[in-house]
Amino acid sequence: MIDQLLWIDLLAKIAAGLPLLLMPTALIRMLGLPRTSEPFYPRLLGALLLAIALALAIEGAGGGRSGLGLAGAGAINLSGAAVLATLLILARLKVRRRGRGLLWFVTGAMGLFAIVELIAA
């Protein structure tokens, strides 16, 4: 079960990180997220997500204790979900309805991943 959790989390990080790195402006526009004048920070987030995915891949391929680990992945997902939820509640983001829905979905998915990963660790 632990290996499956790592690989599902890895695929989610790649699915989010690669488009952010390669085509941030088009992705932001397509998803209805807040626009940015410079693609630097979305690309940086994409690179960070891909780095986390690489650490998860090392953990999954190495048989444990050589990469990020399940508890580390859970901590990343928990902090990401908490910050995103706080921003959605407190910040006055100019986000379209579909963008806001997507962000709440991502928040819930990250929170669920965090709970399962931290319990399994």
Contacts of 62 (CB under 8 A, 6+ apart): none
Choice among 20-24, 35-39, 45-49, 60-64 with the minimum mean pLDDT: 60-64
The rounded Cα 12 to chain-centroid distance in angstroms is 7
96 DSSP assignment: -
In total, how many domains does the chain have? Answer: 1
Domain that holds residue 17: 2-120
Mean pLDDT of 15-30: 94
Residue 61 has pLDDT above 90, yes or no: no
pTM, 2 dp: 0.79
Query: What pLDDT is attached to residue 104?
Result: 95
Residue 28 has pLDDT above 80, yes or no: yes
Residue 115 has pLDDT above 90, yes or no: yes
Mean pLDDT of 30-37: 87
**Can you list the alpha helix ranges (DSSP code H) found in the chain?**
2-22, 24-31, 40-62, 70-90, 97-120
